[in-house]
């Protein structure tokens, strides 16, 4: 198996009508286009070197939202994670904020699948909003995404399955996929994988070639509404390989967790 109205939290929530993962088939872009995305870096316990391993999205100056699987495991410690904000380039530039604590969703259990794969991370040093560090707009709880809706992944992950990470931020446009079709596809795997109602499938079904990939976990699935507002609708979670034509990438459905995010990021 290869992040409305809560102004007191400074958290904007917008409605729209409409294996741990991994950007394949994308194009270079800049953080100016996506000032909500940040890098999540891990320090190697044997090397002492920091390196981008996941991504996240800004909720407030003290909180980001990412995937729970980026903040768990036998060797996980908050002091081994930090956030790099405001940089187009992997592992360099921008500003650094260390992790104070990560609150993984209480339903998340890695050994039983990736349901609830979402985490709200509290930072030690507050971020400062600038043209390249901005607050995300996240999907309202009522948001329902129909099939064939254009959505966007962005990140610094590998550009092919088990390939090399990108040194520059990349983005790619894909399309939401009917949930039942996606769930049926994943049930054909051995062992079968469960695509729950708390997940969003997106890609190019029966075509492939575009997707998130390793190192994009925790990063965004964005939707741009008719006004041009960019809304965080998904968190990159898991999939079968990268850019697979049969098995599309799977993201955590932010709308299912919006109320929990608001309650947690206080």
Q: Is 117 a catalytic residue?
A: yes
Q: Comparing C-alpha atoms, which of 224, 120, 129, 247 is closest to residue 171?
A: 224
Strands (E), the chain: 12-14, 27-28, 37-43, 50-58, 63-66, 81-85, 95-104, 119-123, 137-139, 150-155, 170-176, 199-203, 220-224, 230-238, 249-253
The residue annotated as part of the active site, out of 3, 40, 53, 69, is 69
Q: Is 225 a catalytic residue?
A: no
Q: Comparing C-alpha atoms, which of 158, 164, 154 is closest to residue 251?
A: 154
The residue annotated as part of the active site, out of 115, 117, 171, 211, is 117
Asked whether the beta carbons of 145 and 223 are under 8 A apart, the reply is yes
Q: How far, in Å, CA of 195 to CA of 113, rounded?
A: 9
Work out the end-to-end distance of the chain between its first and last CA atoms, rounded to an integer number of angstroms: 33
Q: How far, in Å, CA of 121 to CA of 139, rounded?
A: 18
Q: What sign results for the dihedral spanned by CA atoms 101, 106, 112, 113?
A: negative
Q: How far, in Å, CA of 74 to CA of 251, rounded?
A: 24
Q: Is 140 a catalytic residue?
A: no
The residue annotated as part of the active site, out of 136, 217, 237, 251, is 217
List, by residue number, the catalytic residues. Answer: 69, 117, 217
């Amino acid at each position: 198996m290869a992040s409305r109205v809560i102004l007191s939290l400074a958290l904007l929530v917008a409605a729209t009508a409409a294996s741990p993962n991994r950007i394949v088939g994308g194009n270079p872009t800049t953080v100016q286009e996506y000032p909500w995305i940040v890098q999540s870096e891990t320090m190697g316990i044997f090397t002492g070197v920091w390196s981008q391993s996941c991504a996240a999205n800004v909720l407030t100056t003290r909180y980001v939202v990412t995937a729970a699987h980026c903040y768990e495991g036998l060797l996980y410690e908050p002091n081994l994670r930090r956030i790099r904000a405001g940089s187009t380039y992997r592992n360099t530039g921008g500003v650094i904020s260390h992790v104070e604590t990560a609150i993984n969703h209480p339903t998340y259990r890695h050994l039983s699948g990736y349901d609830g794969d979402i985490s709200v991370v509290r930072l030690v040093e507050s971020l400062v909003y600038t043209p390249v560090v901005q607050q995300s707009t996240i999907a309202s709880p009522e948001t329902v995404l129909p099939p064939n809706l254009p959505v966007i992944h962005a990140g610094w992950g590998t550009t092919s399955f088990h390939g090399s990470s990108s040194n520059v931020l990349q983005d790619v446009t894909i399309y939401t996929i009917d949930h039942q079709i996606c769930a049926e596809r994943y049930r054909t795997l051995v062992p079968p994988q469960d695509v729950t109602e708390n997940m969003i499938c997106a890609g190019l079904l029966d075509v492939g070639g575009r997707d998130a990939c390793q190192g994009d976990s925790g990063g965004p699935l964005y939707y741009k509404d008719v006004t041009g507002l960019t809304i965080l609708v998904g968190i990159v979670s898991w999939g079968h390989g990268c850019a697979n034509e049969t098995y599309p990438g799977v993201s955590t459905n932010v709308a299912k967790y919006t109320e929990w995010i608001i309650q947690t990021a206080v």
